[in-house]
């Protein structure tokens, strides 16, 4: 069985993420979207909120499931029995960074292969970090995030979002 983990922070989920996920569905029998908890990053949205968004977006796609994990991505792969890691690439410098991580992961577990998908050109500038910056300064992010995310943003107390 071809089981993949698509790890990331997804803080927030963007159309760029959805592009990679949707185009990867035919490639795998099961795709886990891994919400990574990184102690060096302070997320804008809770991991549970991000899982909720993904569950809502993909409620009609039985191949997709979300997991929250902390620690090494390869350890999460072992736990969910994934033999592939899916990564999205926007620019050449993304590839250089991602290849270094893929090489490290391969060194840690030679049975886990990393698969790269390039995003559609219209999503190359869509990054969660940039979306959070636009939000912090009160900008409109509706062209970058799905409706379920936008709904949460519009209902959120700005003091909570920007603490």
Other C-beta atoms closer than 10 Å to the C-beta of 33 total: 24
Cα–Cα distance for residue pair 84/52, rounded to 1 Å? 24
Bridging pattern class, strands 30-37 and 113-118: unpaired
Q: Kindly provide the residue ranges of all beta strands, DSSP E only, lying in 12-159, ordered along the sequence.
A: 30-37, 64-70, 84-89, 113-118
Is 88 marked as a binding-site residue? yes
Per DSSP, the three-state class of 89 is strand
In the set 17, 24, 50, 66, the catalytic residue is 17
Is 160 marked as a binding-site residue? no
Is 14 marked as a binding-site residue? no
In the set 41, 79, 122, 136, the catalytic residue is 41
Is 129 marked as a binding-site residue? yes
Is 51 marked as a binding-site residue? no
C-alpha 50: how far from its chain's center? 9
Is 113 marked as a binding-site residue? no
User: Is residue 136 flagged as an active site residue?
Assistant: no
User: Is residue 122 flagged as an active site residue?
Assistant: no
Is 17 marked as a binding-site residue? yes
Is 10 marked as a binding-site residue? yes
Cα–Cα distance for residue pair 68/49, rounded to 1 Å? 11
In the set 24, 50, 66, 128, the catalytic residue is 128
In the set 66, 78, 90, 122, the catalytic residue is 90
User: Is residue 41 flagged as an active site residue?
Assistant: yes
User: Is residue 90 flagged as an active site residue?
Assistant: yes
Is 15 marked as a binding-site residue? no
Task: Please list, in sequence order, all residues whose beta carbon lies within 8 angstroms of the beta carbon of residue 28, skipping any fewer than 6 positions away.
Answer: 2, 3, 4, 63, 84, 86
Is 90 marked as a binding-site residue? yes
Which residues carry a binding-site annotation? 9-10, 17, 41, 73, 87-90, 98, 123-129
Which residues carry a binding-site annotation for ATP? 9-10, 17, 88-90, 98, 123-129
Catalytic residue positions, numbered: 17, 41, 90, 128
């Amino acid at each position: 069985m071809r089981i993949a983990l698509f790890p990331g922070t997804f803080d927030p989920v963007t159309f760029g993420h959805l592009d990679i996920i949707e185009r990867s569905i035919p490639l795998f029998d099961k795709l886990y979207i891994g919400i990574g908890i990184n102690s060096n990053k302070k997320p804008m949205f809770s991991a549970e909120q991000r899982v909720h968004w993904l569950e809502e977006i993909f409620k009609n796609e039985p191949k997709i499931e979300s997991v929250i994990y902390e620690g090494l991505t390869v350890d999460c792969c072992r736990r969910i029995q994934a033999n592939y890691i899916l990564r999205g690439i926007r620019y050449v410098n993304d590839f250089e960074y991602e290849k270094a991580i893929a090489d490290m992961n391969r060194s840690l577990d030679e049975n886990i292969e990393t698969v790269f998908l390039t995003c559609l050109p219209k999503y190359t500038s869509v990054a969660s970090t940039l979306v959070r910056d636009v939000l912090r300064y009160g900008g409109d992010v509706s062209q970058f995030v799905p409706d379920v995310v936008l709904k949460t943003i519009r209902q959120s107390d700005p003091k909570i979002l920007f603490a």
